[in-house]
Amino acid sequence: MPRNAKEWAGVPDLPADHFISSEVYRDEGIFRDEQRLLLEKTWKFACHESEVEQVGDYRTLSFCGLPLVVIRGEDNRIRTFVNVCSHRSAELVRAPRGNARRMVCFFHLWAYDTYGNCVNQTRDIGYEEAGPKKEACGLRSIRTEVNCGLVFITLDDDAETLESFLADSLDTLREALTAEPLELFHYHSFKVRANWKQWHETNMELYHEWGHVVNRQQGLNSPGYHDRRISIGKNGHLSLPPYRVSYSNIPGWEDRDSNNFPGLAPGEIRAVDLFPNTSIIIRGTAMRIDTSTPISPSLTLMEFRGLGLKSDTPEVRAERIRNHNQYWGPFGRTQPEDGFFIESVEQGNRHAAQYSIISRRENLGAHDDAALRGYYAEWSRHMGRPAGDPKGNVSAEGPGK
Ligand code: FES
Ligand SMILES: [Fe+2]
């Protein structure tokens, strides 16, 4: 039955953690609080270690408004610094990636080594009277740790260790990530006109596979699809149990019988969604890592990586790239559709919707919304407010149950 305006805006007659207020996606104040209370406090995936393989290799990124540079030091350790010169705040490293034993600022040519020390103040005689000495002009260091080849950063100097934050979340991927050196073979990014949480939600929420034409033909029909049980771990991380998929029922596609990642059966899918915004998915022969950078409540930079084994022959690598791109390239069968889904949801949340329903229960099967409820339990823990009522607007009568 259609609902009138009052009914449409009414609080869903559901348990309090079974719906999300649209304010969570559109409110500027909540977005600012997310940066301060959540994103700056947790660990953020920055890159794979193979992207900074050699001493001096660097890549830049931006997070929570901070320009950052990740660089492998002379001691082989990967570090991250705020990418701003200590002198008069010019951007220090100006290329997206490269190699530098010294990072030289293009403005007045101050220079920094790979440890973040200031090693040159041009015509330093000028600082002899008043200072500062170059020893006091190091770059701002950002905590950086590597786990299973994945480089993470946190803006919180007092955050728990990365190992504690990840807990056992990578267990199902550990062999695939570590048995052999991996290598990045694919990177693309785009800005999506949607809230930053939406992409991650879509990765966690397998019910949306009904929206993907190729998944209706393939994954949803695979034996055991609904027999899997999702597991929600510490700190809001989610692990999806492995299952095997046949690809050969798609015209022109082959089954992924060989060259699967270490530890995976042929054609097996494994996936982990790390709170708050990184997903690692393996479809037999190809690995994908998604991560996002929130820009505004309704604009998000998405980054996508594809990885293979460093030992790949050219033929095997070509197969991995082909398999990766079938689903996940910019013209793959599912990734563009995910962008359309969440941009559509953004419009609804911004202009019309009051609540999003996450009430599915299927005994923790693939289409159980427990994944989203677990995510928002963690979100609420950081934010100090429930996702169903983030502004305390719900009347005393509140939700029905
Ligand atoms: S701002 Fe970098 S050297 Fe002056
Ligand atoms: Fe999808």
Q: DSSP of 287-348, one letter per residue?
A: EEEEEEEEEETTEEEEEEEEEEETT--HHHHHHHHHHHHHHHSTTSSSHHHHHHHHHHHHHH
Domain boundary among 136, 158, 180: 158
Does ligand 1 have an atom closer than 6 angstroms to the CB of 90? Answer: yes
pLDDT tens digits along 98-145: 999 999 999 999 999 999 999 999 999 999 999 999 999 999 999 999
Model pLDDT, residue 253: 84
Ligand 1 in contact with 105 (CB < 6 A)? yes
Do both 245 and 281 map to the same domain? yes
Is-contact 243 228, C-beta < 8 A? yes
Mean pLDDT over 32-56 rounds to 98
Residue of the nearest CA to atom 3 in ligand 1? 108
Residue 244 is predicted with a pLDDT of: 87
| pLDDT at 353 (0 to 100) | 83
Atom of ligand 1 nearest to the CA of 109: 3
Does the pLDDT value for residue 241 go beyond 90? no
Nearest C-alpha neighbor of 30 from the set 166, 185, 197, 200: 197
Residue 99 domain boundaries:
44-158
Q: Percent of the chain beyond pLDDT 70? A: 98
Whether residue 289 is contained in a domain is answered as yes
> Is the CB–ligand 1 distance for residue 110 below 6 Å?
yes
- 33 C-alpha to center of ligand 1: Å? 32
Does residue 363 belong to any structural domain of this protein? yes
Most distant pair of Cα atoms in the chain: their distance: 80
Query: Do residue 141 and residue 285 come from a single domain?
Result: no
Question: Ligand 2: distance of its center to the CA of 220 in Å?
Answer: 12
**Is 36 contained in some domain?**
no
Decide whether any atom of ligand 1 lies within 6 Å of the 94 Cβ: no
Q: Other C-beta atoms within 10 Å of 268: how many?
A: 18
- Ranking 37-41, 255-259, 393-397 by mean pLDDT, the lowest is 393-397
Q: Are residues 327 and 206 in the same domain?
A: yes
Rounded to whole angstroms, the Cα distance separating 385 from 34 reads: 11
Q: How confident is the model at residue 396 (pLDDT cuts 50, 70, 90)?
A: very low
180 shares its domain with 74: no
Ligand at minimal distance from the CA of 85 is: 1
pLDDT: is 162 or 5 the higher one? 162
Range scoring the smallest mean pLDDT among 120-129, 224-233, 313-322: 224-233
Residue 154 to residue 165: CA distance in whole angstroms: 11
Q: Give yes or no for residue 243 having a pLDDT over 90.
A: no
The response to whether residue 108 sits with its C-beta less than 6 Å from ligand 1 reads: yes
Ligand 1 atom showing the smallest separation from residue 105 Cα: 2
Residue 234: inside a domain: yes
Distance CA 316, CA 285 (A): 9
CB within 8 A of 328, min separation 6: which ones? 286, 288, 304, 306, 334, 335
- Domain end, chosen from 158, 185, 217, is at 158
Cβ 341 under 6 angstroms from ligand 1: no
Residues 154 and 171 in one domain: no
Q: Is 50 exceeded by the pLDDT of residue 207?
A: yes
- Do 227 and 332 have their domain in common? yes
Strand order in the sheet with 238-244: 182-192, 299-309, 286-296, 278-283, 268-274, 238-244, 231-232
Q: What percent of the chain has pLDDT over 90?
A: 84
pLDDT over 60 at 398, yes or no? no
User: Among 108, 120, 134, 140, which is best to mutate for testing ligand 1, by the most ligand atoms less than 8 A from CB?
Assistant: 108
Check pocket membership of 84 for ligand 1, CB cut-off 6 A: no
Which of the residue ranges 31-35, 250-254, 383-387 would you say has the lowest mean pLDDT?
A: 250-254
| Mean pLDDT of the region 261-265 | 95
CA of 110 to the centre of ligand 1 (A): 6
| pLDDT per residue as tens digits for the range 280-317 | 999 999 999 999 999 999 999 999 999 999 999 999 99
CATH label of the domain that carries residue 268: 3.90.380.10
Same domain, 210 and 86: no
Burial class (CB in 10 A: 0-12, 13-18, 19+), 245: buried
194 and 330 Cβ atoms separated by less than 8 Å: no
Answer whether residue 62 shows pLDDT above 90.
yes
Q: 10 Å Cβ neighbour count for 181?
A: 12
**Cβ–ligand 1 contact at 87 (below 6 Å):** yes
Find the mean pLDDT for residues 244-251.
83
Instruction: Point out the domain boundary residue: 158, 184, 214.
Output: 158
DSSP β-bridge partners for residue 59: 70, 97
What burial class does residue 400 get, using C-beta atoms within 10 Å of its C-beta: 0-12 exposed, 13-18 middle, 19+ buried?
exposed
Q: How many domains does the chain have?
A: 2
Contact 73, 115 (CB under 8 A): yes
Q: What is the pLDDT of residue 257?
A: 85
Out of 27-41, 117-131, 231-245, which region has the weakest mean confidence (pLDDT)?
Answer: 231-245
Q: Does residue 88 line the site of ligand 1, with CB under 6 A?
A: yes
Question: Is pLDDT at 400 greater than 80 in this prediction?
Answer: no
Q: Residue 91 Cα, ligand 1 centroid: separation in angstroms?
A: 8
- Give residue 395's pLDDT: 54
Q: Are residues 308 and 210 in the same domain?
A: yes
For the segment 169-196, the average pLDDT, to the nearest whole number, is 97
- H or E element at residue 202: helix 196-204
Q: What ligand 1 atom has the least distance to the C-alpha of 88?
A: 1
Same domain, 127 and 245: no
Q: Is 185 in the pocket of ligand 1 (CB under 6 A)?
A: no
Q: Are residues 110 and 197 in the same domain?
A: no
Tell me the pLDDT of the chain averaged across its residues.
94
Please enumerate in sequence order all residues whose Cβ is within 8 A of that of 128, keeping only pairs 6 or more positions apart, or say none. Answer: none
For ligand 1, atom 1, the nearest C-alpha belongs to 88
**185 and 130 in one domain?**
no
Residue 29 lies in a domain: no
Could you tell me if 282 and 199 lie in one domain?
yes
